[in-house]
Structure formats: C-alpha cells, structure tokens
Structure 1
Amino acid sequence: MIIKDYNYLPEEAKKIRSEVFVKEQGFYDEYDEFDDIAKHMVMYSNEEPISTCRIYYNSEKESYIIGRVAVLKEWRGKNIGRRILNAAEEYIRENGGKSVMLSGQVRVAGFYEKLGYIKQGETYLDEGCPHIWMKKNL
C-alpha cells in the first residue's frame, strides 16, 4: 500500500469522502473552504483508493488540523485508519508541527484515544452528529 499527497482535492479523495460521509452517514455539507488550502492524502491498495484525510494549519487553534479521515467500508478493521493518520502526523512533524487536533465523531473517539488523542472541551453537533475536538502533542 502507498500513500500519496496532493496540494489539491483529488477525485480519489472526493470519491472516498462521498461514499463514507454522504452515502453511508448522511452528511450533506461535505466540501468546504478548507479543501482549497489543505494537503490531501490518499492511501492506495493496488492503485485502488481506499482511504483519505486532509491536513491544514489553523492559526486560531495554533495547531495543525487533520480532518475528513475516511476509510472505505470494506477496508475497515485492517489498521488503514491508523496508517493514514500516522502518515499525516509524520507530515506535520516534518513541517515543524508540535501538535495536531481533529474534530472526531464521538462514536469513534475511542479509536483516536488509542492513538494518543485527548478530548478537548464539550461535544457539539455537526449536521446533527455528535463531535468532539481532540488533541495530540507530537
């Protein structure tokens, strides 16, 4: 498996995010202004895109943000999410980042906690889905 990064939102990432967040989970406001400034990562298995995430720096939070972490359904439970997050964290370290934050769905917060993320503040709703900010020092 390989991970490629892009300075634009590639079609492969759009396809994965549409499948996971729009079709599976019912989100409708999937694309935003951060897609234009983010670094996008896509993981491939035999040239098939299977996972994606995006990275950008948020000056207000004084931290890099990892977002839109998505793994196609048939690839879940195979450490794909862990691998793409590790690659994103490595990119952030290489670019001088000392911490990373993400807005995780509460139902998968345990996954992020196993990777060293700590819940920050209160839960909030994003399109009716409970989310919580989480942070990890690198």
Structure 2
Amino acid sequence: MDIKVYHTLHKDAVKIRKEVFMEEQGFHDEFDETDGNAVHLVLYIDQIPAATCRFFPGQTQGEYIVGRIAVEKEFRGNHLGSRILSAAESEIRNSGGNTVRLHAQQQARPFYEKQGYTIFGEPDFDEDCPHIWMEKSLIKIY
C-alpha cells in the first residue's frame, strides 16, 4: 500500500471519483473549482488506484475541509477509507491544521463517528442526497 500526495487533481483521483460518485451513486456535480486549490491523496494497492480524498483550508485559521473520500468497489471492506482519511489528517496536522470538518453523506455517518468525528449543524441535501456536517479536533489532549 502506498499513499501519494498531489497538489493538482491527479487522473487517478478523477477515475475513482467518476466511478464511485458519478457512476455508482449518480452525482452530477462531482468536479468543481475547489479541485484546483485542494491537496489530493490517492491510495494505491500494488500500483492500482484504490481510494482517494481531497482537503483544503477552511474559513478560519487552522481549519481544513476534507471531502470526496472514495474507495473503489473491489477494495471496500479493507479499511482503506479510514487509512486515506488518517493520511489526510496527518498531512493537515503537518500543515498546521488543528480542526477537520467534512460534509458527510448521512449513510456514512457511522464510519466518520468511528474515526472520531462529531456532528455539528443541521442536516442538508447535496444533489438530493442527505448530508451532515461533522468535525474533529486534531489537538491531542494528554
């Protein structure tokens, strides 16, 4: 397993997001202007792109937004979602970030709760799919 960090939208991230979000889940507005300003991670298994996510600075100092977390169907069930999210959190921490926020699909809420995320705000919809904002502090309390 290898995770690569790209500062532009890499073709492997595009492939995974098209397959997962557009073809499987039916989203249409998958790519946006944020892709040009985000850091993109791609997780490879034997050089095959298996998972991806992106992150970018939020509106307040130390806040980052993670999104577009996707795992290819044939690689699901191997904890790759948690691995790529953990790698993004590590990159964010190294960039001086202390809080991570994400706009999760409601059905993915239990996954993010297991990763230490809590809900804030009210549920809303993105392309008719229920979503919820969640956040996690990266500050370790001893």
> Normalized against structure 2, the TM-score is what?
0.95
Question: Which residue does 2:110 correspond to in 1?
Answer: 110
**Partner Cα distance (1:62, 1:49) in 2:** 30
| 1:122 corresponding residue in structure 2 | 122
Structure 2 gaps of 5+ residues are none
After the TM superposition, which of the residue ranges 55-64 and 36-45 deviates more from structure 2? 55-64
The structure with the largest strand share of the pair is 1
The answer to whether the 8 Å contact 2:62/2:97 transfers is no
Q: How far apart are the structure 1 equivalents of 2:71 and 2:115? A: 16
What's 1:66 paired with?
66
Distance 1:123 1:61 in 2: 25
| Secondary structure at the counterpart of residue 116 of structure 1 | coil
TM-score, scaled to structure 1:
0.97
Equivalenced residues, count: 138
Question: Which residue identity is paired with 1:74?
Answer: E
The percentage of aligned residue pairs carrying the same residue is 51
Matches within 5 A, 1:71-90: 71-90=71-90
The aligned amino acid for 2:59 is: S
1:25 is aligned to 2:25: yes
Structure 1 unpaired stretches of 5+:
none
